[in-house]
Amino acid sequence: MTRRRARLRIRPTGFGLLLVGIVTLALVIDAGGADPQVAGLAWSALAAVVVIGTIWPLWVVATSTVSVRPTGSDVVVGDPVGFEVTVTSGGGPVEVSLGGGDAIERRWWSAIGRSTRSVAPTATGRCVLRDLEVEVRSSAPLGVLRVLRRHDIALAAPVWIAPAPIEQRWRVESTERRALDGSARQPSNAGDLVRSVRHYVPGDPAHLVHWPTSARAGELLIRELEPPGDLLVAVVVHLDDADDTVAGRAAGLVEAISEAGGSVILCTATEDGPAATTVASRLHAGRLLAAAIAAPPAPPPPGTRAEHVRSSLR
């Protein structure tokens, strides 16, 4: 459901001020021998321009409606975030902008009547994007008054903006390597044991789709494999508002551990409190990091190797 809260801002344009000044001066200054017939007609026309130029954009913007639908659910910082924006404005062109605070760059475009436009601003900040600001402004048709209306729109489904992974090197310890090599404990699997099936999440590898099951169920299902070996690493993320590389380094570390064959438990702080979550996929890790806040994270579970990611500024 789209929840709207609109705010209206009005300010005269430079041209509007000039026009009002001329109209006012024409009344107060003695025109001497000017023909009052011509002066009266011209003044009336300019005054009508001022009045219409004031009322029209107020009506256009006040009656404009906006709806937004995200076209994707998961992106990474630096990638475009797709939205389908439908603007309905009667009475003339309007300028529309889409913004999400620090999360996405603001973009402006013009629209006439009812128009649906796909915009893809670049994601600039890690977050779970649940609200958008859509600004509709107009000074049409005469450019006398500029009216801006801000719509705060709650998205029906959030958009997860994950941090861009910063490549990290991670080394498997010798003890853990023996476990992986099978000298002491033979891994119960080589990474191809099906643990369960679950619903498809965008980003899951296509080769994991179990097609027969999917056809029977009528929806995409993928095989969830047992991770090779028993290597379990807890990545503890200490976010810092002053250092925006922490989340990216954490994402890179999760990727490195996963590629090395380990399983990751991501310890972060969320709005609901500290959380330690087993990472199911790269996408899952991205969502966990997108939702993380700068607060004391959950401690690593006992028995796991802990890798702390902290700000490099301190």
Partner 1 sequence: MTTALGRPVSPELVPDDRRGGNARLVPLFVATAASVGLAARSVPVERNATTVSAIAGLLVAGLAIFLLQSIRARWASRVVVLLGAVIMVRYGEASGGGAFTSVRSLLWAAATVAAFVLGSRLGSASVDARAEDVGRGGRLMSALQAIAVVAALVVAATLAFGPRVSSWMSPSAASGRSADRRDRVQSNPMVAADQMDAASRPRLSDRLVMTVRSPRPSFWRTGTFDRFDGQRWTRSNAGAALVAGGSVSTPADDLSARSGEPLVQRIRLEAAYSEVLPAAPSPVSVESRSLLAQWSDGTIVAADAPLGVGTSYTVTSRQIPVTDAAMAAADGQPVPDAVLRRYAARPTASSRVAQLVAEVTAGVNGTRAKVDALIAWMGSNLTYSLDAPLPSRGGDVVDEFLFTTKQGWCEQIASALTVMLRELGIPARVATGFVPGEWDPVTQAYRVRERDAHAWTEVWFAGLGWVPFDPTASVPPAGSTTSGAAASWWWDHAVAVLLAIALVVGLASPVGRAVHRAAAAWRARSARRTRSSWSPGWVGVVVADLERYGRRGGRPREPNETVTRFTAELADRTGDSRFAELGEALDAVSFGADPPADSRDRLEPLARELSTPSGTLGRASRIRD
Q: Taking the mean position of all CA atoms in its chain, how far away is CA 153?
A: 12
Contacts (CB under 8 A) with partner 1, residues 279-308: 291-294
For every residue of 259-299, DSSP letters joined together read HTT-EEEEEEEETTEEEEEE--SHHHHHHHHHH--SSPPPP
Q: How far is the CB of 256 from partner 1 (least distance, A)?
A: 21
Smallest CA-to-CA distance from 34 within 42, 44, 45 is with 42
Tell me which of 68, 172, 247, 264 binds partner 1, using CB under 8 A: 247
How many binding residues for partner 1 (CB under 8 A)?
88
Region from 114-122, 173-181, 187-195, 304-312 binding partner 1, contact rule CB under 8 A: 114-122
Tell me which of 20, 65, 109, 197 binds partner 1, using CB under 8 A: 109
Which CB sits closer to partner 1, 172 or 291? 291
**Contact mark string toward partner 1, 133..162, x via CB under 8 A:** -----xxxxxx------------x------
Q: How far is the CB of 219 from partner 1 (least distance, A)?
A: 4
Region from 95-103, 182-190, 256-264, 300-308 binding partner 1, contact rule CB under 8 A: 95-103
**Which conformational region is residue 161 in: left (phi greater than 0), alpha (psi within -120 to 50 degrees), or beta?**
beta
Q: Supply 168's token pair.
A: 């990290």
Contacts (CB under 8 A) with partner 1, residues 23-52: 26, 31-49, 51-52
State which amino acid sits at residue 2: T
Contacts (CB under 8 A) with partner 1, residues 170-199: none
Rounded Cα–Cα distance for residues 203 and 185 (Å):
33
Examine residue 230 and tell whether it contacts partner 1 (CB under 8 A). no
Tell me which of 75, 100, 231, 232 binds partner 1, using CB under 8 A: 100
Q: Supply 148's token pair.
A: 């801006």
Q: How far is the CB of 91 from partner 1 (least distance, A)?
A: 8
User: How long a stretch of residues is the chain?
Assistant: 314
Q: Supply 219's token pair.
A: 């929806």
Which CB sits closer to partner 1, 49 or 306? 49
Q: In 267-296, which positions are buried (b, 16+ CB within 10 angstroms) versus exposed (e)?
A: bbbbeeeebbbebbbbbbbbbbbbbbebee
Tell me which of 8, 17, 24, 101 binds partner 1, using CB under 8 A: 101
Smallest CA-to-CA distance from 57 within 20, 103, 89, 24 is with 89
Residues 6+ apart with CB under 8 A from 183: none
Region from 173-181, 190-198, 237-245, 251-259 binding partner 1, contact rule CB under 8 A: 237-245
Examine residue 271 and tell whether it contacts partner 1 (CB under 8 A). yes
Examine residue 273 and tell whether it contacts partner 1 (CB under 8 A). no
